[in-house]
Amino acid sequence: MLSRTADHLYWMARYTERAENLARMLDVNCRMSLLPQGAEVLEQGWIATLTIIGLMDAFRQRYDSVTSSNVIAFMAFDRDNPLSIYSCLRAARENARAVRGTLTSEIWETLNATWLEMREASQRPSTDAEVGNFFEWVKYRSHVARGVIQGTMLCDEAWHFTWLGTYLERADSTARILDVKYHLLLPHGEQAGGAADYYQWSALLHSVSAFEIYRRVYRDLITPRRVAELLVLRDDMPRSLRRCMSQVYAHLQAVRNSQSSETERRAGELQASLHFGRIESVFEMGLHEYLVRFLGQVRGLGDRVSRDFLVSATD
């Protein structure tokens, strides 16, 4: 396959997944903001979200105060923010347009329709209820796109590069969501186990579509350690780090070339550490430290994929 074609497919998938994951991250913050809390606590939640995405400095250049409305405007609808939902859906559509001959007509029509609807959504103000509906719409359109890809695309190298981009992006997002919420949900001195505590952990699970899965797997109270275990080490959880890296490794094996052996080895090493890992070891290291290391490894894999297969390392 031409590296340029692989590049467009890979980034088409990553931007589609990124838009959904941004919606999930913003949605969980909106859910948390419904709890009784001081303005300072609410602001810290949004600051942590902007920081983990890496956009705190860019936000400060545009806005004087960190409020829900400002962050949502910046992260969802801002045309000049290259990492907003608006920009991600636009980039996904442009990458798809560049390889229309490789995609099925259903895939192109789905991504193009999503972008056209996004343009309309970005031109009208939204109430709190409409913002929530918008996040659900972003997630739904991502689900539709993945379903069409799975159901209509030939399972060749193009298909493998599409899913490689999807799962690398998903691994990065799950780690970020888990990391930023662990910073906030159990501050020093707060009593765990209360109603607010339960709602916060429930909101985190809802943000990665894991609340019902948690109930089926554990059938017990929601505890931080089990939440981490579910999202890090369980292979049957669709958005867990282990599941994502298992898929990344499998798709890398399917597209291997003469210069990708080290990339494949590193992906396999990371996948094996998750496969054989124990949650006790994760907490001994420190969850934050573990997730920061994981994010660095995923970022390194992304750089190596770009070098081994793609035209450029544009992010």
Q: For position 191, what pLDDT does the model report?
A: 44
Neighbour count for residue 53 (Cβ, 10 Å): 18
DSSP string across 137-196: HHHHHHHHHHHHHHHHS-SSHHHHHHHHHHHHHHHHHHHHHHHHHHHHHS-TTPPTTSHH
Residue-level pLDDT at 83: 94
Neighbouring CB atoms inside 10 A of 176's CB total 18
Report yes or no: 115 and 92 within 8 Å, Cβ to Cβ: yes
Stated pTM of the model:
0.91
pLDDT in tens, 10-39: 999 999 999 999 999 898 888 777 776 777
Residues in the chain with pLDDT < 70? 1, 36, 122-128, 183-197, 312-315
Residue-wise pLDDT tens digits, 211-231: 999 999 998 788 888 999 999
